[in-house]
Amino acid sequence: MTPDEFRRLGRQAVDFIADYWEHVENMPVLCPMAPGAVAAGLPERPPEQGQSWEGVFQDLTQIVLPGLTHWQSPNFFAYFPANGSFPAVIADLISTGLGVQGMLWATSPACTEMETRMLDWLVEMLGLPAEFRSDQSGGGVIHSTASEAVLTALVAARHRLRSREAGARGDAPRECVYASTQAHSSVVKAAMIAGLADGPDDRSRIRLIPTDHRHAMRPDLLERAMRADAAAGLAPLMVVATIGTTGSTAIDPVDRIASVCAPHGAWLHVDAAFAGSALLCPENRWMARGVEAADSFCFNPHKWMLTSFDCSCFWVRDRGALTSALSITPEYLRNAASQSGRVIDYRDWQIPLGRRFRALKLWMVIRHYGVDGLRAHIREHLRIAALFERLILDDDRFEICAPRTVSLVCFRLHPRAGESPEQTDARNRRLMDAANASGDLYLTHTSLPTVHDDQTAGPPRLVLRMAIGATLTREEHVRAAFSRLSNLAE
Ligand code: PLP
């Protein structure tokens, strides 16, 4: 392809994306196709000869678009959003076009130095501890996902613990990881990958701490578990506190968790994958009280900060703990800049070697919107989430199932007199399935424990999650979603 052909087709691709964003609102949000339907439209064998781009664009419209679930639709309320924006799309296009691979400072200084600067900007933007800045003991790095960040934190924590304990014990102690029952499954997955769990149900070295009536981790039970493990000769390795759990955006009390963690010398990782973006607004920073004591912190701009997937920001208080766990230098990567000790080589801050120029995305998004624009984006979603919550509260067929901390509303149809819990769950599932089949909106569910005010636990119940945060979502979409749900409610 010549540069002139690229110019022409590139413009066509940009038009394709702009048209998609203009019309995505009218497409059925959840893909209605059956498994195999997309594959059926694709030839079984690759073409021997190059093909025309006319056909490629035609297939994009006829085969690919109908096979999508539209994450950028303003009517997407499922999981957590994967926020995109035109500034981020432009940045990704340019990043791919430049085609640099920033594994070492020397392989593209701009890739590294811009990343360092962006992550320092974000420390200030989110009100994170100054120690996370690169000109202090710490620093930040862009990973693909929060799952990668928690695994990296675990590996760094293990290295720190083992270096401290070297020679102190004959046998390697059995290390334990702690998180709440509401923590994301990536914590257990990280333990599985790191060899601390044989499978998702292996709890021999993972303690999932029960939550209170707000679905937040109970520090008293964390303390009990850590003490019991320490007394039994086990080594408390890492605690994961969540700011905005996946199920209900519950806020674990990071300050109290940090106090429990400290005497054991365990690594404290704070996972704020979704809700972290809310810290842009000073009025939300109560959620992160205690983060000053964290060893690491992660949030995903790709969830709620207008930065297209993938972009997960991960900071550590002590970059040495990270790099000493992950650094390995074969001869072919040696270079004068690295050896001078004056540069960051981000390959030592992550699992893979290679890395894309993702900082461009943060740079262009922050420059385009400004911090004020990003705050306005968050505040508007919080406003319309409160509005949706009000609509639910005002309709006596529904109930709210968890305190709303950010823009996720957990709700369900009230149990009816004489109805079993299973029947209530089934009625709620039917409502969700019917809403999703309508194509007008897409929302997902979870199961939340019932915890009474006196902390006694009841059975889990099915809860519907209305996650507001897609870039294009406005008040009218939230009102329309409520009307649809209200009309479909049995
Ligand atoms: N942590 C929390 C609290 C999440 O909600 C999620 C995903 O929704 C994750 C971690 C995992 O995110 P990722 O897809 O970036 O690994």
Q: What DSSP string runs through 185-235?
A: HHHHHHHHHTTS-SSTT--SSEEEE-B-TTS-B-HHHHHHHHHHHHHTT-E
Ligand 1 mean position to 62 CA, how many Å?
A: 32
* pTM: predicted TM-score of the whole model, two decimal places: 0.96
Q: Per residue of the chain (490 residues), what is the pLDDT tens digit?
A: 999 999 999 999 999 999 999 999 999 999 999 999 999 999 999 999 999 999 999 999 999 999 999 999 999 999 999 999 999 999 999 999 999 999 999 999 999 999 999 999 999 999 999 999 999 999 999 999 999 999 999 999 999 999 887 655 555 668 999 999 999 999 999 999 999 999 999 999 999 999 999 999 999 999 999 999 999 999 999 999 999 999 999 999 999 999 999 999 999 999 999 999 999 999 999 999 999 999 999 999 999 999 999 999 999 999 999 999 999 999 999 999 999 999 999 999 999 999 999 999 999 999 999 999 999 999 999 999 999 999 999 999 999 999 999 999 999 999 999 999 999 999 999 999 999 999 999 999 999 988 776 767 778 999 999 999 999 999 999 999 999 999 999 8
**How many of the other CB atoms lie within 10 Å of CB of 364?**
21
Looking only at the bridges linking them, the beta strands covering 235-242 and 267-271 are parallel
Ligand 1 mean position to 273 CA, how many Å?
A: 5
Q: Which of 467, 461, 476 is nearest to 412 (CA)?
A: 461
Q: Which of 216, 244, 246, 214 is nearest to 402 (CA)?
A: 214
- For ligand 1, atom 14: residue with the closest CA: 145
Ligand 1 mean position to 11 CA, how many Å?
A: 34
Closest atom of ligand 1 relative to the 183 alpha carbon? 3
Closest atom of ligand 1 relative to the 274 alpha carbon? 5
- Does ligand 1 come within 6 angstroms of the Cβ of 152? no
Ligand 1 mean position to 181 CA, how many Å?
A: 15
In terms of Cβ atoms closer than 10 Å to its own Cβ (0-12, 13-18, 19+), residue 421 is middle
Helix (H, G, I), strand (E, B) or coil at 293: helix
Q: Token pair of 431, please? A: 């409502």
Ligand 1 mean position to 333 CA, how many Å?
A: 32
- For ligand 1, atom 5: residue with the closest CA: 246
- Does ligand 1 come within 6 angstroms of the Cβ of 229? no
Question: Tokens 């640099």 — which residue?
Answer: 100
